């Protein structure tokens, strides 16, 4: 009789087991992704810039060599192939015309074509999102072009079934009512144009900081990387001290500026012709665009009349303060509209707040000024309109704000004042109507403080999308059927959408689904190998995000 002894099983070595587990995990993950994509989701890649900056098509990442502001600039897929061949074969770079302008400091002639090209955002789209409900207003959707079903588009829903949609003054109206964006959509759709940067004018007086303090001995410190305020040192502070953003551009512009001048100097030749930088008529000295420092010094050298010299210096200053327009770093200068904008969004983070004073954030549109006051003495938050001391909104902080770090978002989008603290609404949004004659906005933001000490980081300004009607005048209203949607691209100047299609409505049957996330993000990096330049894709998980 033979006996068989049961022995302990032979276990694989730890290294072999770990390797096998990793391989099996990847295989199972791949199978799960394939099943998920086959039945519940589908991947799409953005190729155009019609939804920028929310979703990016082929683009290049630009870092301004002067102020360090980083922004995406649209790039064509076709041109990049030619550029790559030329770089690799002939070791040269294409220098495009200087149509790249930094939104933050207005520097032009930024090298562009030599930067690596990055592919567009890749979307994971939930294909069954709209089987049991319709898309909501301001949701991003993917749908098939009704005229060419093989083409898939991604746009934002602006009009719902049965509504009459009209674009007027850059806004969307449904059945005559202004459509206002919720805070999460505002954050996704805003177009940044300014960030606090410490800079000095130097020898070139055309280049000046947009951030200024009014007082010569201000308690604001703006000489470092980030602004700081110390209202606790020295005597008790009574008046609020302000840090102001003024939209200073160094050159160009299409705006008009004028200053008073009683008479033209007798001994000075009168400016004539279209090539003259200034014009004089009816007691006003005027120019279009920026009056450069070179032109200013030229006119000052030609005439020593005190009144004329004062007017020239005033015109120099005023012409550099340009109205805000629907400009985007993603588009070329030729694609910049001439529409003035007045709906702004500011965000920043407060650090190490101490004291019992207050912080006041003032935002202006073309007819109103709103102030959000954070009072650390009374632990109150107040929203004031214009010069009225009675708040239109008010609340007590519950729970008390942590003073080590406070994130603040304040906006005036769609004629509505919205304030958020640490990501959550602090007050009920306040809708309002425009009052008085609209004026171009050149100084949209002031940040004031009294009897506090704190630091500020990530101080930025952005604007709302200005929806261009794509017609010489505001386009007539569009009546939607019971199964139709009106869609718009976030990059309004260049987007092809319901504003221009012969059949503007998107039928419900054309819907593909709802984009969930930007996944598998990557950026291009340039490497040299065997004497040649090669653009390679490397993961960039900072671009992975939920689509809002």
498-502, long-range: CB < 8 A, 24+ apart:
498/155, 498/158, 498/159, 498/165, 499/167, 499/467, 499/468, 499/469, 499/470, 499/475, 500/470
Please state the separation of Cα 324 from the chain's center in Å: 12
Q: Is 470 a catalytic residue?
A: no
Reported as half-sphere exposure (CB side, CA atoms, 13 A), residue 308 has a value of 21
Question: Which structure tokens are listed for 11?
Answer: 């276990």
Closest CA to 120 of 89, 86, 76, 156: 76
Length of the chain: 548
Q: What angle (nearest 5°) sits at the alpha carbon of residue 64, between those of residues 60 and 70?
A: 60
Which pair of tokens denotes residue 289? 């665009």
Are β-strands 506-507 and 284-288 bridged in parallel, bridged antiparallel, or unpaired? unpaired
Active site residue 155: yes
Rounded to an integer, what distance in angstroms lies between the CA atom of residue 404 and that of residue 421?
13
> What gap in Å lies between CA 43 and CA 54, rounded to an integer?
17
Question: Is 319 within 8 Å of 252 (Cβ atoms)?
Answer: no
C-alpha–C-alpha distance, residues 105 and 69, integer Å: 8
Kindly name the residue from 80, 106, 155, 366 that is annotated as catalytic. Answer: 155
- Smallest CA-to-CA distance from 119 within 68, 55, 188 is with 55
Q: Give Cα 132 distance to the centre of its chain.
A: 34
Q: CA separation (Å) from 27 to 17, 24, 305, 344, 494? A: 15, 5, 83, 48, 42
User: Where in the sequence numbering do the catalytic residues fall?
Assistant: 50, 155
């Amino acid at each position: 009789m033979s006996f068989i002894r049961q022995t302990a099983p032979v276990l694989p070595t730890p290294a072999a087991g770990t390797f096998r587990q990793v391989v099996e995990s990847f295989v199972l993950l791949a199978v799960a992704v394939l099943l998920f994509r086959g039945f519940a989701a589908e991947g799409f890649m953005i190729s155009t810039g019609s939804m920028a900056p929310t979703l990016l098509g082929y683009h290049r990442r630009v870092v301004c060599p002067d102020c360090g502001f980083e922004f995406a600039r649209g790039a064509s897929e076709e041109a990049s192939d030619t550029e790559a061949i030329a770089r690799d074969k002939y070791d040269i770079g294409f220098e495009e015309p200087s149509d790249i302008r930094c939104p933050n400091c207005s520097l032009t002639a930024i090298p562009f074509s030599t930067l690596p090209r990055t592919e567009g955002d890749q979307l994971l789209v939930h294909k069954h999102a709209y089987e049991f409900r319709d898309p909501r207003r301001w949701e991003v959707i993917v749908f098939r072009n009704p005229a060419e079903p093989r083409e898939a588009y991604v746009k934002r829903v602006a009009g719902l079934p049965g509504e009459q949609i009209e674009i007027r003054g850059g806004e969307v109206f449904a059945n005559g009512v202004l459509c206002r964006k919720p805070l999460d959509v505002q954050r996704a759709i805003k177009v940044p144009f300014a960030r606090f940067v410490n800079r000095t004018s130097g020898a070139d007086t055309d280049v000046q900081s947009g951030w200024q303090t009014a007082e010569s001995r201000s308690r604001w410190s703006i000489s470092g990387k980030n602004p700081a305020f110390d209202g606790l040192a020295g005597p008790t502070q009574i008046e609020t001290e302000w840090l102001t953003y003024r939209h200073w551009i160094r050159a160009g512009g299409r705006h008009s500026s004028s200053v008073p001048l009683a008479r033209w100097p007798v001994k000075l030749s009168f400016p004539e012709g279209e090539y003259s930088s200034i014009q004089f008529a009816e007691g006003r000295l005027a120019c279009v665009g920026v009056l450069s420092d070179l032109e200013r010094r030229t006119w000052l050298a030609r005439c020593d009349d005190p009144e004329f010299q004062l007017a020239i210096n005033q015109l120099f200053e005023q012409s550099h303060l340009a109205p805000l327009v629907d400009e985007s770093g993603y588009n070329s200068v030729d694609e910049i509209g001439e529409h003035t904008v007045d709906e702004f969004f500011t965000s920043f983070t407060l650090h190490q707040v101490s004291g019992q004073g207050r912080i006041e954030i003032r935002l202006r549109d073309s007819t109103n000024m709103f102030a959000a006051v954070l009072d650390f003495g009374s632990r109150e938050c107040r929203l004031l309109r214009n010069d009225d001391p009675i708040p239109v909104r008010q609340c007590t902080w519950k729970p008390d704000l942590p003073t080590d770090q406070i994130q603040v978002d304040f906006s005036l989008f769609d004629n509505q004042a919205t304030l958020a603290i640490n990501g959550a609404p602090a007050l009920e949004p306040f809708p309002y109507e425009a009052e008085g004659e609209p004026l171009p906005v050149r100084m949209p933001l002031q940040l004031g403080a009294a009897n506090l000490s704190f630091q500020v980081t990530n101080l930025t300004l952005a604007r709302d999308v200005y929806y261009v009607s794509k017609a010489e005048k505001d386009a007539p209203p569009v009546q939607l059927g019971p199964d139709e949607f009106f869609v718009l691209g976030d990059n309004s100047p260049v987007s092809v959408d319901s504003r221009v299609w012969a059949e503007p409505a998107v039928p419900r049957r054309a819907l593909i689904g709802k984009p969930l996330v930007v996944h598998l993000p990557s950026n291009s990096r340039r490497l040299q190998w065997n004497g040649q330049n090669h653009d390679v894709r490397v993961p960039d998980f900072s671009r992975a995000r939920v689509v809002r």
